[in-house]
Amino acid sequence: MTRKIAVVGAGYVGLVTGVALAQLGHYVTCIDVDTTKVDQLNRGELPIYEEGLRELLLANREAGRISFTAHPKRGLRSAEVIYIAVGTPPKEDGSADLRYVESAAYDIASYATQECVVVCKSTVPVGTNEQVLQWIEKEKKEDIKVHIASNPEFLRQGSAVYDTFHPDRIVIGSNSSYAWDVLTEINAPFEAPIVKTDLASAEMIKYAANAFLAMKISFVNEIANLSEKLGANIEDVVSGIGKDQRIGEAFLRPGIGYGGSCFPKDTKALSHLGSDFMERLRLIETTVEVNDMQPSRLIQKAIKRYGDLAGKRMAVLGLSFKPGTDDMREAPSLSIVNGLVDLNAEVVAYDPVAMERAATIFEEGVDFASSVEEALTGADGVFILTEWPVIKNIAPDVYAARMNQPIIFDGRNCYGIEEMKEAKLEYYSIGRPPQFGQLISNPLT
Ligand code: UDX
């Protein structure tokens, strides 16, 4: 059955959700306070880059199934299903700021014109959906029935469209059988297992999933750090533990820590939520702590190698928190680049898409190169911080040919250590034996 759907918030999640629902044949209106963004979207232009999204947006706009408005009244009129997909940024103390969710709830209360299901996609602390219902109930017209449901989002940046159409599972939390039925029907075409539960459990599932994945990363990083000291190779360790099906090899890539808009924010919010209820979540707290320390470990290696970094020309390859996006939120590159600048190194950075954004973040002491080759030319060392294809495919001899001293600090384990040994390069990575090139002994010990 085709539904009339409103999506409040045309940010990352709202946009992908709206476009996907339109693609399923529903009539979707996305509402956003940002009029510039709304105009842009109505012209078929995307404010973010996401593979495959533009094509879907254009096709559905053409078919008249999706439109954008800055007026909640217009967007919410006669909507049968209303998705809340606004941001929940962290407050200073790490807790989630719910002001945009609250304002969406009051808009729904003021402008919903018929019985509807309000679906929360935003990641919110356990208990928020009950609160959203109360905000709506307080202000809405008496004769309109509102059902509430939590339907958390698990999509990854860079593969958001694929993830939306191929989910591992769909979680629907509600206390209303009407909401369950409507959402089960809407989600049926995705052909994924549906976990039906109550509101609180659905909210908890989202935090627990992100915290668990973040914990896997901090776990592998700790084991990598120790492997390095003991002469073990983390790649073999992961392969050895991951073949145990209870562990699995996925999401155990060691590196300079997780970044992005979800893991850092959600682990801190969960930790905060625990402390609100006198429950210290020690595993989560430590996950955050290990992650905060991880970027500086690469810099420590450079300090050991050079002694003093002042005046050394350091190339930095990759700035975004992961490949496939220009997002710099909580990127490990932030603390590494700032650390190098504080040590008075001359930093020359390159990223295939994030440099424009990075230029607004790094104020002084960072130059930007227009290519990998330019960044490497004359450098005394290189820090690899994001595993973009254009970076991990650099041939080893390019380092030797371009750099003043070919010393590589690889925060993403882009190269095999044998390959670097053969190329006689000095190569320091995460959790693997160092290759010290022409030197006769390991300068880091
Ligand atoms: C993540 C979750 O995967 C998604 O389900 C959730 O809804 C939002 O948060 P995203 O932040 O887009 O998605 O990126 P993801 O690909 O999961 O990577 C997150 C961070 O972890 C990146 O900084 C990445 O470099 C790092 N990472 C990931 C590792 O360091 N090692 C790994 O093995 C995997």
Residue ranges per domain, the chain?
Answer: 4-197, 198-445
Q: Are 394 and 382 in contact (CB under 8 A)?
A: no
Q: Which atom of ligand 1 is nearest to the CA of 260?
A: 11
Superfamily of domain 4-197 in CATH is NAD(P)-binding Rossmann-like Domain (3.40.50.720)
Dmax (CA) for the chain in angstroms is 82
440, pLDDT greater than 80? no
* CATH 3.40.50.720 at 198-445, yes or no: yes
Could you report the per-residue pLDDT of 18-65, keeping only the tens digit for each? Answer: 999 999 999 999 999 999 999 999 999 998 878 899 999 999 999 999
Q: Which atom of ligand 1 is nearest to the CA of 252?
A: 33
Beta bridge mates, 349? 316, 368
Nearest CA to ligand 1 atom 13: 156
185, pLDDT greater than 90? yes
Packing angle of the helix pair 199-230, 263-276 (nearest 10 deg): 110
The pLDDT value given to residue 351:
98
Contacts of 166 (CB under 8 A, 6+ apart): 190, 192
User: Comparing C-alpha atoms, which of 310, 308, 302, 290 is closest to residue 336?
Assistant: 302
Helix, strand or coil for residue 383?
strand
Q: Which active-site residues does the annotation give?
A: 262
Q: Which two tokens stand for residue 392?
A: 């991990």
Q: How far apart are CA 211 and CA 265, in angstroms?
A: 10
Q: How far apart are CA 415 and CA 39, in angstroms?
A: 45
133, pLDDT greater than 80? yes
Q: Is 16 in the pocket of ligand 1 (CB under 6 A)?
A: no
Q: Is 388 in the pocket of ligand 1 (CB under 6 A)?
A: no
Domains 4-197 and 198-445 share a fold: yes
Q: How far apart are CA 389 and CA 406, in angstroms?
A: 20
ipTM (interface predicted TM): 0.97
Q: Compute the C-alpha angle 225/226/232, nearest 5°.
A: 105
Rounded to the nearest angstrom, the distance between the alpha carbon of 53 and the centre of ligand 1 is: 20
Residue 441 pLDDT grade (very low, low, confident, very high; cuts 50, 70, 90):
confident
